[in-house]
Structure 1
Amino acid sequence: MASRSLHLYQPLGWKRSTWHELLCNPVRCTAILLIVGLSLTSVGVFILVERPRGSTLLPNILIPDPEPDLDPDPVHDLEEPVPELIGTTVYHPFVSPSPEDALVDQRIRPIRAHSAISDACLEKWVSTGLWQDPCRHSMVQESEIDLVYVWVNGSDPLHRKARQALLNATKYTTKEARFREHDELRYSLRAARNATASWPNSTWHIITADVPEPTPNTATNNNNTLAPPDQTRRLGLVPQWLDIECAFYGCPDAAPPIRLLHDTQLFRLTGRPGATLKAADAIDWFGKILPSFNSHAVEAQLPHLDPEIVSDNMWAFLLLFPIRTLTDECSVALNDDQFMMLPLPPSAFHTTLYGQVFRVDPGLLVGGDSTGRADGGGEWRSLGWSAHLLNERFGTRKRPYMHHNARALSLPLLHEVSLAFGGEPNEFEVNTIFISTHYVIERHREALLWSWVVGKWGAEYGGMLNRPQKLRMWEEADRRTENDVEVNMLMAGLQPPRAVDKERQGGYDILMGANFHSLVQLIDLKQECIGNDAESAWNMFRRLLKDNTACGDNIISALIHKSKSGLDVFLPGPPKQSIPPSPADPIILPLVLPEKAPPLPSNPRAFAVRLLMRYAYVLGDSSTIFMGMKSATQTDRLLKSTDKQKDVALLCLNDDIDVWAEKATSEVLRKWFEQKWPTKLGCEV
């Protein structure tokens, strides 16, 4: 995509200059006269004007709008924003979204990389698990993976005042440690530059907190309240060390371009699946949730990143979580600061063949909790509520906790998750990372069961399954796919994930390739799961999916073990290449599972193949250290221990430093950071 190949980004809220501004600019005016003069002699000329270093004006390549907007927009047709200095602090002014812009796009997004693969190749890959003809000459590109940082500077004077005003209003207290920073963002980016040098077309996106633009008499006052701000203009926090022009024009070194976004720009009202929303709904919603210093609320807005700018695949770093509040509910989340210690291939996080790489902790299971009684001072209330929502949709089970490090995310699937769970979360928070990871795992399981029960057996017998037909199903489900991952990836032109030299390159080990729920209970498949009574294929599918999850897991495990490779045993009928999927067919199963079966797609097999590819994933394990910092001496000891472990790929630092040790510990960290990553980014002031 052209917009992703450019290293030139426009400041958020920037609009093309008006003709008045254009004609008043002598350089542009001269260029126009030159073009007009040359055009009279039938000579076509392209002029590229490079922006001088230090200029605050954006170069304009004037391309006529296909559908020009003739109506003036007083909110968005503003002059090009430039950094704003208040006291000694730099901010990025922007205009908050209008209510109309704050309504979510409810269309399901396809995964772009899959659109580039032919149906014949996908059929071969999913059914056999082998990258062979007709895929042999269809090399896929390494995944384009963007890095997304969520960051806040709790020491910022305006942020501190806005935060304190909310704390006063809610009569809530929190630890200032939750807002501390030790310059982690700067060094995490330096580490990322070294570790992702081989990644194609990667961009860094930094989502920072923002505050209302103060009136002149509030910028320097010393009380804890702000005068009523202008609600349409806000100030985005800017890292103190960042040359803000680099954020839009690209750094002069080899580092990827940096794009600044701010919390308020991402908030979108989603509503329940299928709900019709109006601008008035967004106004009411904003009134309830803003202002928000809610880490989980900000995470929940990641699905609303612009897909024209952000890659389908993201690796999210969630830094320096602030207090969070939804209406009158306040609590404190954790601080997570992540660093890439070794170069890592894109396949350590995502590949087109195998999907996202999830890193879970199978020894720590999360159960559903609809009461909201769990500890709100950490993340367990959000985890319990998220697990409850998953139970409601996919059936009750305990699900493993996500490892504390950067997480691989898919933007189209994050968007789908937001649509599936877009209803009011009562007063409890949703843990976006947990719910989106397990949503993909559950949807893949759902796709397997739908394909086998509804698409295959149900379609063959007209949607109803009687006792003799169920006996045939049991016979088929009577025996783990051993995919040769490295061979398949090499055949597809991708770098395998496993590190050759573990001290020079990070990697990951695949724990399980096909289905997370493969450790199953001993159950009588014939009697307890398949059953003897006649029922519709849709009802059987729903029963195995939600009501008796152990049976669904056992059937999936048995079918996978019976196949040498691939998922052909699950797929409906033989390939029907002469019947292409209809544009009227959906690309997913319903977000909310209906009681009655929806119509079968025109080509159930092709639908099932693409459905299984959409939710493909693997579970992986990288060499990771999670370090809880409490004091200077303890932090120094742990960092020295980390230095001795040469194969560590990912490091997560958690700030739990006592107040009395803050200054000394910060000095230890800064010294270690500078020793580890001494080379500055080109965008550092």
Structure 2
Amino acid sequence: MRAPAALECAPPPAADARAAHPALFSSGAALPSRPGSPISTSDTDEHEHEHDGEAGDATEPLLPRYRLATADEVVEEKDEARRGRRRRVQRIAVLVIASLVPVGITASLFAATSSCSTAKASRPYESEALSSSMPRLNTSFAPSLAQQYLADPESVNDGVLPFDSTAFDPLYRPVPLEHPLSTSSFASSASCFERYIATGTICTAYDGRWTDEAARPKLDAVWTWVNGSSAELMTSWREEAAQEGARRSRVRRWTRRAMRAVRRRLRGAAVLRHFREHDELRFSVRSVVQSLGASSLSTLHLVVGDTWAFSPADRERLDPDDVSRQLRLAQLPHWLDLSSIAFSEPQVVATTSAPQLLVHPHSEIFKAGPALGASGALAWQQKVLPSFNSLAIESQLANIPSSTSASTAIYLNDDFFLHHQLETTDFASPLAGPVFRLQRDLLVKGVAPENAHEDPEGEWRGLGYSAWLLDQRFGERARPYLVHVAKTLSLPIAREMQQVFLADMTKTAESRFRGRGPSEVQPLFLLTHYTIEKHREALLWSFLVARSDLDRSGTYSHAERRALLSSLGHELDSPSSSHILQTFRRIAFDKPQCGDCIIVLLVGKSGEAGLESFLPPASEGDGAFADEASMGEQQAEALRPQAVGLEGTDWRTIDFSRGLEDEEQGRKPSLRAKCAALIHRYSYTLGSSPAAFESIRHGGDLLSAQLDKLDAAFFALNDDVMGASASSMRDVDERLEKWFEKTWPAPSAWERAQ
């Protein structure tokens, strides 16, 4: 292996388990199986990105795709009487929920549904495999409000899901370092780690480890979605409620406003049902399942907006002891089948077999810094939610619970799609880490906050600030733009980066709308280049600190200096000494080009595979001398995650002498093995795949031709139709839907019957 070129959930035991919690054991759609295919590769990157200020961003309100229906369009709906009856039933369900909350009836209303065992009518695309693998409840907890709502066969997807906000802790709590996909497979053997990094040789104990499809590492998929039309309505509703005087009694005022607000949201949901938002999210989900196959996926995470079930002004006047004060409504895409999805809460246990779809409200993942304390964190969260800023939402993705996740995920906006048959290794490998796709002809330079770009609502202000943060931490350089398609997200590294840049990530989360905050990061750009820089840092730290300071004195002795320079092909007779960390900082960060040259030189001196020249010398007992039999005996020797330099955001002030400390007890892996684990933790691959960014500006035959020519493995469809007539927009909708259905005809397991 070389440095990169650019530098439980078992099936339910009996039918009664399904009857108790039908929402957790649904009969979803059969997931299409995918024939074996080679790894998808390409020698060219066909992606071209247009910098249009994020037009069409699905997490921003008031987008062209979200428009109100005219009277003529409403009349044109087929079977209006039948649809009207269904809408009335849906409205009644939500209005009952809203109107009964103040008098404490909601809890009993939902509690009564927990005993129901009536199954929903079977669908023509049922899948027993999915129903046996849905997440299950920890039986030590009573079913929550949201779980009972999902379990009720009479519940209707009206675009909202009620839940109790007290289920989530609003305070950020750091988690211990976790092994990413690139190291978890070797975590039980320090010797195998060491041998693989040093020589590129894989222990025979790992031969055929992933031959069995069930044993192969799986991927998660993460979508962020906010109903933009509803977002605008909720914002107006909140502002109106805050300005309203206290002329009416508490119950009368609350009831009237709650019913009016819910009706308004239902009208918004009806608009979305009519125009279907082009249904990008639904077909994006289909595209991932069809391209990768069910066996490659673990959990599909849908991160959605949520808000109070009543206005802030009314909530202030509710009885402090009334549990209804905690009721929130999470947004749901209208096409989801409630019985097939799960709502993420602490008592939900993840599955390890067929994929599940897990809904995460913003209230679960938005976390305030620990300095605020519990009460301050709750106030902070109430201030920043609901959020319609894609950057703010992405800044909190690291807070997706690790108990419900694979270690690596595909991150998609709702208008990102996968088109070809792909493998998990197109996104990540247990040997080579995540796959990053960079647009190397478009470089991003750091811009200090006081010199911020003038496009606050676009992407370049956040990119410049993120690059500046990277400059402060790793040294100044221009960094490639990320191709604007689905991206690989390492959740363990994202949680590590969040700890390092917590202040900036939290500050970004405080901007409810794009560009409103003083400084916002581009989280995916920051994470990708953080991984790349940490791998480079690990290589140089291993060589200049761990390998070259053999006596651990903190300075280079004459002999150590001679050995170091000899490793680089130079000889030195001077007896003077120098400080190790000063040398490391200068080479790695102050003059990063010097560090790059050293890496290229040492890679060349390490042979055809491996990174031997970066590691401390082998000693007795290390993997370099161990035979295969002794390595097999060491499989129980767990190697902890290794990291250095996590104490700050400025390379000038970080104490790089700390790190890779010995374990307190038990057998201690060698420094060489720890350096190997450190390097491998941040392994990554640079990929080049057919990718496209398609801007939809017109309808008609031109749009159909544009779609029919689309043959990229990764692409984004950006809705830039502006100023079109109602008939033109209907044409766009119809052509897109026709092409979507032709390209991904199989419904996913989580779609309700049409």
Structure 1 length-normalised TM: 0.71
* Partner Cα separation in structure 2 for residue 262 and residue 562 of structure 1: 51
> Is the aligned partner of 1:341 residue 2:419?
yes
- Aligned match of 2:340: 246
Letter in 1 for 2:682: Y
Q: Measure how far apart 1:468 and its partner are.
A: 5.6
SS at match of 1:375: coil
Correspondence for 1:314 among 409, 413, 416: 409
Task: Show the 5 A alignment for 1:163-178.
Answer: 163-164=235-236
> Is the aligned partner of 1:123 residue 2:194?
yes
* Partner Cα separation in structure 2 for residue 657 and residue 4 of structure 1: 48
Letter in 2 for 1:597: S
CA contact (8 A) 2:145 2:162 kept: no
CA contact (8 A) 1:628 1:655 kept: yes
- Aligned match of 1:39: none
Letter in 1 for 2:441: G
* Partner Cα separation in structure 2 for residue 588 and residue 122 of structure 1: 15
> Is the aligned partner of 1:409 residue 2:505?
no
Q: Measure how far apart 1:681 and its partner are.
A: 2.8
> Is the aligned partner of 1:233 residue 2:327?
yes
> Is the aligned partner of 1:608 residue 2:678?
no
Correspondence for 1:260 among 352, 359, 362: 359
Could you tell which deviates more after superposition, 138-147 or 375-384? 138-147
- Aligned match of 1:427: 518
CA contact (8 A) 1:270 1:418 kept: no
Letter in 2 for 1:677: W
Letter in 2 for 1:351: S
Task: Show the 5 A alignment for 1:632-671.
Answer: 632-633=699-700, 634-642=702-710, 645=711, 648-660=712-724, 661-671=728-738
CA contact (8 A) 2:180 2:408 kept: no
- Aligned match of 1:370: 448
Letter in 1 for 2:200: G
- Aligned match of 2:368: 269
Q: Deviations over 1:456-509 (max 9, x none)?
A: 00134633115663343223124xxxxxxxxxxxxxxxxxxxxxxxxxxxxxxx
Letter in 1 for 2:614: F
Q: Measure how far apart 1:437 and its partner are.
A: 0.5
Q: Measure how far apart 1:526 and its partner are.
A: 9.0
Runs of 5+ consecutive residues of structure 1 not aligned to the other structure: 13-19, 29-49, 171-175, 219-228, 320-336, 479-524
CA contact (8 A) 2:226 2:388 kept: no
SS at match of 1:400: strand
* Partner Cα separation in structure 2 for residue 105 and residue 310 of structure 1: 17
SS at match of 1:439: helix
CA contact (8 A) 1:627 1:652 kept: yes
* Partner Cα separation in structure 1 for residue 618 and residue 475 of structure 2: 31
* Partner Cα separation in structure 2 for residue 349 and residue 586 of structure 1: 22
* Partner Cα separation in structure 2 for residue 60 and residue 354 of structure 1: 30
CA contact (8 A) 2:301 2:358 kept: yes
SS at match of 1:679: coil
Higher relative contact order (CA 8 A, sep 6+): 2
Cα RMSD (Å): 4.4
Matched positions, count:
553
Q: Measure how far apart 1:150 and its partner are.
A: 1.0
- Aligned match of 2:27: none
CA contact (8 A) 2:186 2:192 kept: no
Q: Deviations over 1:409-461 (max 9, x none)?
A: 11111111111100144721111110011111111111101100111001346
Q: Measure how far apart 1:116 and its partner are.
A: 4.7
Correspondence for 1:628 among 695, 717, 720: 695
Letter in 2 for 1:300: S
* Partner Cα separation in structure 1 for residue 575 and residue 241 of structure 2: 62
CA contact (8 A) 1:470 1:531 kept: no
Q: Using a 3 Å threshold, how does the CA distance of structure 1 residues 4 and 597 change in structure 2: closer, same or farther?
A: farther
* Partner Cα separation in structure 2 for residue 547 and residue 4 of structure 1: 53
> Is the aligned partner of 1:400 residue 2:480?
yes
* Partner Cα separation in structure 1 for residue 699 and residue 737 of structure 2: 11
Q: Measure how far apart 1:26 and its partner are.
A: 12
CA contact (8 A) 1:83 1:92 kept: no
- Aligned match of 1:539: 582
SS at match of 2:721: coil
Correspondence for 2:616 among 572, 575, 595: 572
Q: Using a 3 Å threshold, how does the CA distance of structure 1 residues 607 and 586 change in structure 2: closer, same or farther?
A: same
SS at match of 1:308: helix
Q: Using a 3 Å threshold, how does the CA distance of structure 1 residues 440 and 533 change in structure 2: closer, same or farther?
A: farther
- Aligned match of 2:165: 96
- Aligned match of 1:598: 658
CA contact (8 A) 1:402 1:434 kept: yes
SS at match of 2:342: helix
Q: Percent identity?
A: 29
Q: Measure how far apart 1:167 and its partner are.
A: 8.8
* Partner Cα separation in structure 2 for residue 534 and residue 238 of structure 1: 64
* Partner Cα separation in structure 1 for residue 734 and residue 574 of structure 2: 66
Q: Deviations over 1:22-42 (max 9, x none)?
A: x999989xxxxxxxxxxxxxx
- Aligned match of 1:142: 216
- Aligned match of 1:482: none
Could you tell which deviates more after superposition, 233-242 or 296-305? 233-242
> Is the aligned partner of 1:185 residue 2:294?
no
> Is the aligned partner of 1:154 residue 2:228?
yes
CA contact (8 A) 2:644 2:656 kept: no
Instruction: Compare the two structures and name the one with the higher helix fraction.
Output: 2
* Partner Cα separation in structure 1 for residue 603 and residue 707 of structure 2: 44
Q: Using a 3 Å threshold, how does the CA distance of structure 1 residues 11 and 542 change in structure 2: closer, same or farther?
A: farther
Could you tell which deviates more after superposition, 344-353 or 418-427? 418-427
Could you tell which deviates more after superposition, 97-106 or 299-308? 97-106
CA contact (8 A) 1:5 1:201 kept: no
* Partner Cα separation in structure 1 for residue 202 and residue 684 of structure 2: 17
Q: Measure how far apart 1:82 and its partner are.
A: 4.0
> Is the aligned partner of 1:354 residue 2:432?
yes
